[in-house]
Every structure is written in C-alpha cells, then in structure tokens.
Structure 1
C-alpha cells in the first residue's frame, strides 16, 4: 500500500498527556466543540480556537508516576450520552485517589512452558492484593454550567498498574448503550488468564445499559458474580480475549456498522480487529450458567484470542541466544490455550510487528488509537481505518510515533497496511503519539502527541488536526 502524505495543524499546545480526543455539541450550542481529556484529570474543550476548562478531577485521581514517571492509570475514558445536548449526561472512567494497593504478585511475571505452575497462577486474596481501583461514573452538566457527579456505575479492583484500557468509553450508535473496554489487568502475559475467563471483568468489552439500573451502593469487584443483581442485569459482554485496548470505534457501512478494536501486543505484534455481527451475552446468563454448573454457550461471543494468541501469532516467550546475542529464541508460551482458542477466535483485520525490515513497513511498540475516516479532505484516506503507534521501536533519539492506515474489509479478512507520513518538523523534541480522535461524523482526524513517555513530565502535549 502506498505512503500517504499529510500535514499536522496544531490546535492546542502545552497541555498534559491527552488520553481522549472527541467532539460533542454542548447544550444550547449550535456547533461541535473539541473535547480533550488528560491523563492527570483535566477535561478541556476548544470552541472558535479558544480553549476552556470543562472539568478538573485531578484531586479524585490516584498519584501517578510514582515509579519513575510512566503510568497507565489516571483519567482513561470520556463519553457523552447520545442525548447529551438535552440531558447533559456524560461518563468518566478513572483511577480513584487513595486506592493504591500492593499489587497481585510480589514481582514480575514470565510464563515458563517447562514449569506448569507458572501457567496456572490464581489471583488470591483479591480484597487486599490489588494495585488500584478504577471507577466508571455518570456526571451531569447543569444548566448553570456547573458539573456534578451523579452516581457510580462500576468500581473495579485491578491487579496491576498497567493494562487498564484507554479511550475506554463509547456509546454504541446501534444500541445507544455505553461500552466499556477493559484491559487484562496488567503485568505481562496475563498471569491469571483473566481475559479468557467469562466471569472476570478484566480483558472484556462490556455493554452497560445506563437507563436500566439505579447503580446504588456499588461494591468494589473483580468478577461479575460479585455484583448485586440490580447492577449485573444491566451488563452484557461483547468480547473477551483482550490484552489492552485503545477503545472501540464504529464505521457506518451502508445499513450496518463495522466495529474496530485494537489489541496492544506483548512482544511481537500489534493487532486491529473488525467485526460487524455479534451477540452479546447478558451477565445474567453468565451468572445463571455458573450457579447451575452448566456450560455457557460462547460460540457467538467475539474472542480476540489473548492470551493464547498475540494477534495473528501464538503468544511466544522470548529468550536471548547465549551463543549469538544478536538472535532470540521464541517459544510458544501457552500452546494448549493457543490450540483451544484457534477456531473460536476472530482473526485480525491487520497486524504490524515489533521487528519488521520490509520496505514501507515499520517496527512498532504499542497501538494507541484506531479510528475510521469518512471525510473527503484527505482523499487517499477516505473510508480507511487510521491507527497510531506510540513510538518507533529502536529509533534513534528524538523518539517518534507512527501513523498508518488500512482499507475497509467488509468480509473482515486480514488486510495490508500503509504508512501515513506527516509533514511536520518536531525538531529535537520527542513526539510520542498517545491518542487519536475524530469528530461526530468522522470527517476530521485529531492526533495527540506528547514530548515524553512519562505522565509526570507536565505540559508537553499538543493536539493536531491531520489535514492534507
């Protein structure tokens, strides 16, 4: 696929690390405003090239970056109700202040196929052995312009610092329900295989009917069966097998929607999946099957394959070759799981790799955004799926992120990808591509760039519009 050249037009400079970029029409307004959520807890909006503060919840968010500056917690999701213009409702996903715990394991984790004990770890003593608590909340913009927290929808104990999802909230244009995307809980290699266990909240794409429940007295949970019925009856599971996910996006295609989700890779490959038809499983059915000790039919559930599969490859463990340090040995980490999920998983729309010497390809590190583009101002990208990678792997300083694209495949079979080359001079400043967003009709593209990989290096963010 050919390289596409674009320009980057700066919109906002000197903000903190942007995790969410999207637009909404404020009540009483007649045009879209661009909303930017930062990882530390600010939400700004831009209208007529003026930036204003919409909400500041920094005091509600856990202390970030305590272990060197890098962190995957904070303000992770923002979504506006489909009727936001009239009811003022919006939704947040963030990490609660004061919820720091010791973590689920005393050290790092690496599976060893020669030691079956490492392949069957259990997350024990969950009420004390967790890293933090994430919350999903409903807020309201009042007629006087003030914002107010109305209620909690979920409080989730997370085992590790990382893999909490990002850009994690989105209302489905099909069902009008709120979708929450959660990562597998972190560490690496999903130590407890939470992503494949249908009862676990971690590693799932979850649909929430915000109109169905009062969501009062929300407990702190890790599993669906720890929730009271008044809460879990409003939940359904759309997909499992998620490692870490930069949100879900929808692309109108004739009379249906193509759904796109990305799965951040472990060691070898980053993956973008697409699907049209799906049958969510109500959590009520999941709990009933468990209480009746019967097998739950999961054939219609979307399964991204993790942890047995990393994209289009069986998940490997990588070790250096002592006889030749320039080479590595890749061993299948979870062979039995790769086999058992080989036919039940969906295949990626496209993949790119951490090591790739092919012409017109790149060696990536972590997928940070996936968005369809339906505009006409960049004709080479019209109807394409755009994605971003955090930073080129093993690139010489200053660090640079990557933009790329792939074509629509209504049959959802695997496709190639091409590079998008921005005409912008970052000079000697690092530029990590941390987020990707669109406007309401997907005719504009927005790129969030940060000058550091650390959330504690403040005011290094820029929001660009991607233009021809």
Structure 2
C-alpha cells in the first residue's frame, strides 16, 4: 500500500476529552460548523475562528472517574443532528445520567474459565438493583434564539458495568432516515452474560430508532431488555446487528446509489476490527419479541452478526496467560469454544483485523480502536476512497510519551480480509502524551478531524486538542 504522510492543524486546545466530532449547519445559518462534544458534557462549535458553547449538560452527567482512578467510559457518548437540523433544530444525545450510580452487576472483574462451566453461563440477576448506571437517549430542540431544550426521552437503559457503553453512538442513516444507536455489550470484559448474542438484550446491538413517530409517553421506563418497553416504543425500533463488543459508531459511504456501512468493534486481547456491509435485513423489535414469546428463532437471513463473544474479529476469542513451563511465552486458550463453533458461519467476517502485538516493521501494536471514517476528499489524494481509522495508543512497549496511531485500508469488491498501512503524522506533540480519542468528518466526507487527549483519565481536565488532518 502507498505510504501516506499528513500534517495536523490545531483548531482548538485546552478542552476536556473530545468524544464526538461532527459538522452541522445551525438553523438560520449557511455555514457548516464543526461541533465538539466532550465526555464530561460540553458541546462546542467553531464559528468564525472562535469556539462557542452550544450546550452544557455537565449537571446532567454522573460524576466521572471518582470510582475508577480517573478512567471512565461513561459520560456524554453520542451526538447526532437530524438530517433537517438546519430547518427543524432537532438533535439527539446519549449520555450517562447523574445520580444513577449503582454497585454493578458483578463484585469484581470477570474472566471465563473453560474448566468451570459456571463461569460460561452467568446470568444477570436482580437487574433493578445490581447495575452500574443508567444511560439515556434524548431528543433536543435548538431554537432560533440560540436556546436549547430537551423535548423527550427515546430510551432509558440500565447498564451492568462502567465500560463498553459505546462512543460516537448516535448517527443518522442516509438510507432510512432513522437514528442509529450503537450499544456496547455492557462491559467487564468477555461479555460475562452473553448479552451481545441475546436477541432480547439492548446491549451489544445496532438499533434503528424511527424518530418521526410520536410515542404516547415521553418518559419510557428504565429497561435492559426490549420486551420491557411499552408497545409504542417497541414499534419505533428495529435491530440491524448483534454480536457487538464495544463500538465506535457507524459511518456510511455512498457508492453507485448504495451505501457501504463501516463499523469499528473494539477487541478484547488480540485484535481490533473494522466490519463493512452493504445489504442487510433489519428485524423489527416487535418481531423479535413475538419470536421470543413463542420460543422460536426469528428469521435472520440478512441480519448482521459480528460474532462476539465467540469471535474477536477474525479470530476465536481467547484467554491469554503465561505458560507455566516458560513464563516468557503465552498460552492461548479458546474462551467459548461452543459459541465460536455456533457462530462460525452466521457471523460477518471483518474487513480488517489489526493486532495488539504485531512484529512487522511497518505496522504497530494496537490498544483500542477509537474511530472509523471513509474519506472522499481530494486534498490527500492517496487516501481518496479509503477508510481511515485511529487507535488510542501504540502498544509497542516504548517509554512515555504515548502516541496514538492513524492508518488506512481499502475496500475491494472481493470482500476478502484487507491489509492496512500506517499514516505518518508530521506533528510535534512535544513531551506530552497524545492519545487519539476520536475521529470525525464533515458532511460530504472531504475533511478529517482528530481528537487528541494528553491522558486516558477523564478526571484529568483540559488536556484535549482537536486538529484538522491536512496534506
């Protein structure tokens, strides 16, 4: 693949952790502006070279980092503008709600033991008390006088753990016009309750929400399973995919009147993966519930399954431990052999999997996939038509400061597993660490934006910079 080198142009600095980068045109305006949502609950936009506050919901966000040493995967996780935002002022938020902290679903971290069947078939019991927090998906309204207000709640979801809540979790589909919510498997590692493969669980899914439907109740109950929703809310939902571990949103690229969908799935111990698909057949939630009540398997031809927890990208999910005979080597044991076999044919193979350990000189060791975007611009011609992605930090055993990774891959018609190439970045971050935490693009996908943070701890404030990626 062609070696590509780019520069970074700083747009704004000294901000909190930038989780979502989107562009939109404000009602009554004609200029496309870059919006930056931070994990702690601020949303800014850049206009006329000045950063302006669009919305500040920090009082609505639960306290971040206090129970986890500063690291957290909760907060403001999703921001999406209605396709007609310039006319109707509607936008959508996904965030973790203040005052909803719970004890969690398990008392400690989880790792399956293939020699102990009890660890392979855990159940999430006492859900109304044994949960970590509550996430909400809401519709908001931007008025012409620059005031914003909440209009209604679309979903309230009880989450079992602190992590794997998704990020950049709200996006509108240009195919269906529906709001797409991407949810993680609930966290703790290895999906202990196998929520991602359970058709009734909201966790571990890609869900479409028809926001044109006015439900009779604007405050749905807090739930974990689809059948717990009132029927009017059930009727607004369809499920595109399951088998999700933790997801960096969904992006769309138009080719010959069709849309290619790209999904980044964060790995467990071995690989990070990007999936792509064109055709799919979503299943209405009402149909899933009906099948569940009849103890029948719903028709799933054309339904997307990413394979987790049996598969981690292109590889069977494995437990890695030191070899007792030789501690310098690793022993890899399949974590869920039966599920790996059961989903081997049903799953969608990834477009690309890149490894946590990769000795090749032109690659890098991965930590966590943080963004996937198609690029259709011409300013960086070697990237035109490619799919670019970011990783939080190079896992190479090098001493600090930490550096994130930026790379690209191609999409070929043969649908075979692709290789990737690292994109060299010509920018001096100095002595500070630079974790690549988010990746964004403009409306026509001709510009790329990168969110960088100096720490992995959301409790370490004002260490964020947003760049535009330029030739």
TM (norm. structure 2) is: 0.98
Aligned ranges 1:74-113 → 2 under 5 Å = 74-113=75-114
Structure 2 equivalent of residue 321 of structure 1: 323
Unaligned runs of 5+ in 1: none
Question: Is 1:429 equivalent to 2:422 in the alignment?
Answer: no
In 2, distance between residues paired with 1:330 and 1:410? 33
In the alignment, which residue of structure 2 is the partner of 1:5? 5
Shift of 1:137: 0.2
1:408 aligns to what?
A: 411
1:175-215 deviation per Cα after TM superposition (whole angstroms, max 9, x unaligned): 00000000000000000000000110000000000112325
Displacement of 1:411 in angstroms is 4.2
Name the CA distance, whole Å, in 2 between partners of 1:190 and 1:108. Answer: 11
Query: Does the alignment pair 1:457 with 2:457?
Result: no
Residue 55 of structure 2 is matched in structure 1 by: 55
Give CA deviations for 1:340-363 in whole Å, capped at 9, x if unaligned.
Answer: 000000100011100000121110
> Does the 8 A contact of 2:2 with 2:382 survive in 1?
no
What is the number of residues matched between the two proteins?
468
- 2:37 pairs with 1:34: no
**What is the CA-CA distance between 1:279 and the residue it aligns to?**
0.4
Residue 45 in structure 1 maps to residue 48 in structure 2: no
Q: Specify the alignment match of 2:360 in structure 1.
A: 358
Q: How does 1:376-415 map to 2 (within 5 A)?
A: 376-393=378-395, 394-415=397-418
Aligned partners of 1:213 and 1:234 also within 8 Å: no
Distance 1:410 1:17 in 2: 37
What is the rounded CA distance, in whole Å, between the counterparts of 2:2 and 2:145 in structure 1? 51
Residue equivalent to 1:24: 24
Quote the residue 1:139 is aligned against.
Answer: 140
The equivalent residue for 1:307 is 309
**Alignment partner of 1:246: what SS?**
strand
Contact kept in structure 2, 1:33 and 1:47, CA below 8 Å: yes
**1:169-208 mapped onto 2 (5 Å cutoff):** 169-208=170-209
Deviations 1:108-154 (A, max 9, x none): 11100001110000000000000000000000001211000000000
- After the TM superposition, which segments of 4 or more aligned residues of structure 1 sit over 3 Å from their partners? none
CA distance in structure 2 between the aligned counterparts of 1:194 and 1:395, rounded to whole angstroms: 36
Shift of the alpha carbon at 1:104?
Answer: 0.2
1:119 and 1:367 map into 2 onto residues whose CA distance is 27
Q: Distance in 1 between matches of 2:117 and 2:345?
A: 24
Select the residue among 358, 362, 369 that pairs with 1:367.
Answer: 369
* 1:260 is the counterpart of 2:258: no
Alpha-carbon distance in 1 for matches of 2:458, 2:219: 32
Aligned to 1:333: 335
Give the SS at the match of 1:339: helix
Instruction: Tell me whether 1:288 sits opposite 2:290 in the alignment.
Output: yes
Q: TM-score, normalised by structure 1?
A: 0.99
Tell me the distance in 2 between the aligned counterparts of 1:53 and 1:20. 15
Distance 1:142 1:30 in 2: 16
Q: Distance in 1 between matches of 2:69 and 2:292?
A: 42
* Range with greater deviation from structure 2 (340-349 or 410-419): 410-419
CA distance in 2, matches of 1:16, 1:111: 36
Aligned to 1:278: 280
SS in 1 for 2:128: coil
- Which position in structure 2 is the counterpart of 1:244? 246
Give the secondary structure class of the aligned counterpart of 1:85: helix
Give the superposed CA RMSD.
0.8
In the TM superposition, residue 20 of structure 1 has moved relative to its aligned partner by: 0.2
- Counterpart CA distance in 1 for 2:286 and 2:176 is 18
Residue of structure 2 in register with 1:446 after alignment: 449
Q: Secondary structure at 1:231's aligned position in 2?
A: helix
Contact 1:213/1:231 (CA < 8 Å) preserved in 2?
no
Whether the 8 Å contact between 1:194 and 1:202 is mirrored in structure 2 is yes
